[in-house]
Structure 1
Amino acid sequence: MMNLHQIVLGARVRTLALFVAPVAMGVAAAWHLLRAHGTASSGRTWLLAVLCLAVAAFLQIGANYANDYADGIRGTDAHRGGAGTVDPDDGHVPDYEELHAPVRLVASGVAPRAVLTAAAASAALACLCGLVATALTGHWWLLALGAICVAAGWCYVGGPHPYGYHGWGGIAAFVFFGPVATVGTTYVMSGTTDLFSWVGGVLAGLVALAMIGVNDIRDLDTDREAGKRTLAVRMGHTASLVCLTAMLAMVGVAMLAATIWLGVRGDDNPDIWWSFCAVVGMVAVELLGWFAVRAAWQGEHMRAMLLLSELALALAVSFAGFALAL
């Protein structure tokens, strides 16, 4: 069995912004759609929002445990114990990257069965929350989408043919942490979607893809040795960094364009508070994107990933501001 400290480490709390941001953006888009009908503040609406957040959280945590288990038993993490394996008595002074590297439980000696059990428990909780949300909405086809999400989390590096070992991990991150999370949340809460929710989903997906990109650049050499053909391994170090820069530039340009549009729109009764959130969030996205790109080019991968987590949250704040200022 794992202790509480190991459970928290295995959940990789620093990655959880990847699910918080797109779900929050989906909630904002749904609120925008529902507000005109006077149902945005109903108890049912808020309950569905909480359930969507819980589903995404447990899926993400379960996927983190499943990835730790699968990579651990395959030997991919053999030399990636992480921060928890740094020996303070060997005379070596760990740098920022070593201190903040994610701990791989199986590679650090935790029983694989315990990690697999944690993954299964998280997936079961996600399914339970999803079942409740489906029952409340009556959209039973959502169960099929939920099954696909669970399968995607496991098959990323688990099973006989993990797609994460063949360069599809980034695409999956874009899809499931982008349109699926954002547009799915909007649909569950409002029963419909709009262009606004789809744009938000694409932006959230680009940030998730950038996060996976930095992770794969960091592990490029060890992944190549382990036969894990990620996009970074296929493209090479420099090309991967160029793509990372381009993706974050697209997010930054989109948010700047949205701010300019909000300014020239000429609304006679703007919501000052949400407009303020939109602009401040946009500035944070621009600055965090710049620093994340610079950190990645300088080889400070863990710092870049932390900045991208903060960028995802800033994006959610800005997007919510745009949605609710209208």
Structure 2
Amino acid sequence: MEITLKDKKQAWLHALRLRTLPLALSSIFLASFIAAYHGYFRWEVLLLASLTTLLLQVLSNLANDYGDSVHGADSDNREGPIRAVQSGIIRKEEMKKAMYLVASLAFVSGVSLLLVALYDHPMFLFLFLVLGILSILAAINYTSGHNPYGYIGLGDISVFLFFGLLGVMGTYFLHAVTWNSTLVFPALALGLFSTSVLNINNIRDIYSDQIAGKKSLPVRIGRKNAIVYNWFLILGGNIALLLFVLTNDGYGGLLFLLVFPLMVKNAKGVEREKKAAQLDPYLKKTALSTFLCVLSFGIGLLIF
């Protein structure tokens, strides 16, 4: 392992995985930019949706650290960065308490968001409350619990749905309390980009996952096909954003194409590098390039 955890503070910071947070915010920001473009933007929705999403992402990170240690994916065979529970600095019981705390905070934040956005629409409020509870359960049960769905290769579908379709279309609805069919395109884009980050993570961990019996998609289809899949996710996401621009006459949004070469460079790096330590930086790079893509798209949409 290249990273060693020296004390509890460092271990907790490592478990939070702060580098994943910009990706978590991408769907909220993208939907909010489009809501502003359509004249529906609400600051209180942006702030509360961002807080709720950040808490859900932290919950997912803590649950992943806990779950992979319990189920054996974080063993001595793992080549990626060391995890907090795996290191022994944070006990499993402590991690579980942290998960309960963050889950409670996410629930309170989420309910506050729904009350602010949908107070006059009880039917929609109830529907979104159910979706919020499902989001919390999905964050916890990815690799923890008795039957973690991440261990049978369903993580990609979950990320696509929650980071893409639900994240973008749900946030837009909380701003506007109305539906726009062309939102499918940016929702698809964020779902594909977010799934790419998960795919890179699973390509990095393919060896240790095989040993632990974690049947991630790269384990199921092999590294070569996982690389092809990654190209599909990156290119497909950019095409989906392009389709939104063309169907909404929001040509300023084409500013996102400035980030496209960076995404291609990252995808080439993932294809080229074989060792886990060399692949690991591309998780952060892909997440940040997604966030930059959203910012450039949104700023271009509103200014030009």
TM-score of the alignment, normalized to the shorter chain, above 0.5: yes
Q: CA deviation at 1:314?
A: 1.7
Between Structure 1 and Structure 2, whose CA radius of gyration is higher?
A: 1
Give the whole-Å Cα distance in 1 for the aligned partners of 2:219 and 2:202. 8
Question: Which residue is 2:84 aligned to?
Answer: 105
For the aligned residue pairs, the C-alpha RMSD in angstroms reads 2.3
Structure 1: runs of 5+ lacking an equivalent: 83-100
Give the whole-Å Cα distance in 1 for the aligned partners of 2:181 and 2:68. 38
Is residue 65 from structure 1 mapped to residue 62 from structure 2 by the alignment? yes
State the Cα deviation string for residues 231-282 of structure 1 (Å, max 9, x = none): 01100010000110121122234445667x49xx6x9xx9xxxx3xx44432
Is residue 289 from structure 1 mapped to residue 263 from structure 2 by the alignment? yes
> Whose helix fraction is larger, Structure 1's or Structure 2's?
2
Give SS of 1:107's match.
helix
Question: Which residue is 1:171 aligned to?
Answer: 157
Is residue 150 from structure 1 mapped to residue 136 from structure 2 by the alignment? yes
**What count of residue pairs does the alignment treat as equivalent?**
287
Give the whole-Å Cα distance in 2 for the aligned partners of 1:238 and 1:288. 22
Q: Which structure 2 residues correspond to residues 66-85 of structure 1 after superposition, within 5 A? A: 66-79=63-76
Contact 1:48–1:189, Cα closer than 8 Å, also in 2: yes
Q: CA deviation at 1:301?
A: 1.5
Q: CA deviation at 1:186?
A: 0.7
State the Cα deviation string for residues 176-233 of structure 1 (Å, max 9, x = none): 1111111111111111231343211110110111111111111111101100011011
Deviating above 6 A after TM superposition, structure 1's stretches of 4 or more consecutive aligned residues are none
Match among 304, 307, 314 for residue 282 of structure 2: 304
Give SS of 1:160's match.
coil
Match among 109, 127, 137 for residue 107 of structure 2: 127
Give the whole-Å Cα distance in 2 for the aligned partners of 1:219 and 1:79. 12
Structure 2: runs of 5+ lacking an equivalent: 1-6, 120-124
Q: CA deviation at 1:26?
A: 1.1
Match among 25, 30, 33 for residue 38 of structure 2: 33
TM-score, normalised with respect to structure 1 = 0.81
Contact 1:21–1:312, Cα closer than 8 Å, also in 2: yes
Percent identical residues: 24
Contact 2:12–2:84, Cα closer than 8 Å, also in 1: no
Match among 182, 188, 198 for residue 168 of structure 2: 182
Question: Which residue is 2:95 aligned to?
Answer: 115
Moved more, 184-193 or 63-72: 184-193
State the Cα deviation string for residues 73-118 of structure 1 (Å, max 9, x = none): 2222012677xxxxxxxxxxxxxxxxxx544111111211111222
Give SS of 1:140's match.
helix
Contact 2:29–2:294, Cα closer than 8 Å, also in 1: yes
State the Cα deviation string for residues 149-200 of structure 1 (Å, max 9, x = none): 0111111111111110001001111111111111111111111231343211
Give the whole-Å Cα distance in 1 for the aligned partners of 2:241 and 2:112. 35
Give the whole-Å Cα distance in 2 for the aligned partners of 1:196 and 1:26. 12
Question: Which residue is 1:91 aligned to?
Answer: none
Give the whole-Å Cα distance in 1 for the aligned partners of 2:131 and 2:271. 37
Give the whole-Å Cα distance in 1 for the aligned partners of 2:237 and 2:202. 20
Moved more, 179-188 or 52-61: 179-188
Taking a change above 3 Å as real, the CA distance of residues 114 and 80 of structure 1, as seen in their structure-2 partners, is: farther
Question: Which residue is 1:92 aligned to?
Answer: none
